[in-house]
Amino acid sequence: MSANAFGEIVNGLIPLLGGLYAWMLGTRRLGKPVGVDYDARLGRFTKTLTLMGPLAMLYGLSQIVMGLVRR
């Protein structure tokens, strides 16, 4: 594997993992349990995180695929 391909994979993994983290926070699979006062702050962003997380994952996956195809 060339250094260029490795760099493209790493550049794609950043939004992929960030999107996974955002999606897991939005669906409450990560974070504090339901009922803690953290809900008031996170409650405003759950829809946004749930929508933008998979979009960021798709963007990261597309960067990985394009980086591997482009070499």
DSSP secondary structure string for all residues of 14-59: HHHHHHHHHHHHHTTSSSSPTTSTHHHHHHTTHHHHHHHHHHHHHH
On whether the CB atoms of residues 26 and 49 are closer than 8 A, the answer is yes
pLDDT in tens, the chain (71 residues): 788 889 989 999 999 999 999 999 888 888 776 666 666 777 788 899 999 999 999 999 999 999 889 86
| pTM, full prediction | 0.82
- Domain extent, residue 53, equals 3-70
For the chain, the domain total comes to: 1
DSSP 1: -
Exposed, middle or buried, 26 (CB in 10 Å: 0-12/13-18/19+)? buried
